[in-house]
């Protein structure tokens, strides 16, 4: 994959959201030196095996349209709230964001249904 300005920006924004290049590197399972090499443009391309690991993390940060840019700004605004979460909540959100979009939607529907049932049970137990 050719390294473009959009990819560099997406890497920077994702690293900012995650908190550090080290944390990003661990989540992506890509060597920190390799990530640094991409950021400093010491190479012009990303190997397929590395791209396959990086893409799920940076995908939300790739600027495809004005809507994507607006979503990225909203996501960055939410990073302050992210720091207030427990470590278990952060792990859950990070794992969820690594899922493909279709699976995220499916899991969200299941979670909402579980919550609805719980609220219903609690409401009628009282």
pLDDT at res. 67: 44
Check the CA dihedral 39-41-44-50 and report its sign. Answer: negative
Dist. CA 99–CA 46, nearest whole Å: 21
Name the percent of the chain lying above pLDDT 70: 83
pLDDT digits (tens, 9 = 90+) for 10-37: 999 999 999 999 999 999 999 999 999 9
Min mean pLDDT across 34-38, 69-73, 105-109 is at 69-73
pLDDT at res. 65: 38
Which is nearest to 14 in space by CA: 31, 34, 42, 35? 35
* Burial of 123: CB neighbours in 10 Å, binned 0-12, 13-18, 19+: exposed
pLDDT at res. 74: 57
Q: Which residue has the higher pLDDT, 120 or 22?
A: 22
Query: If you average pLDDT over residues 52-64, what whole number do you get?
Result: 85
**Model confidence band, residue 38 (pLDDT cutoffs 50, 70, 90):** very high
């Amino acid at each position: 994959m050719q390294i473009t300005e959009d990819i560099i920006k997406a890497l920077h924004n994702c690293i900012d959201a995650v908190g550090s290049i080290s944390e990003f590197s661990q989540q992506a399972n890509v060597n920190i030196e390799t990530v640094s090499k991409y950021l400093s443009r010491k190479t012009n391309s990303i190997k397929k095996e590395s791209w396959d690991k990086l893409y799920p993390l940076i995908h939300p940060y790739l600027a495809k349209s004005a809507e994507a840019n607006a979503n990225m700004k909203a996501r960055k605004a939410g990073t302050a709230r992210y720091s207030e979460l427990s470590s278990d909540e952060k792990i859950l959100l990070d794992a969820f964001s690594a899922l493909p979009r279709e699976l995220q939607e499916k899991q969200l529907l299941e979670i909402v249904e579980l919550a609805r049932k719980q609220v219903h049970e609690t409401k009628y137990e009282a």
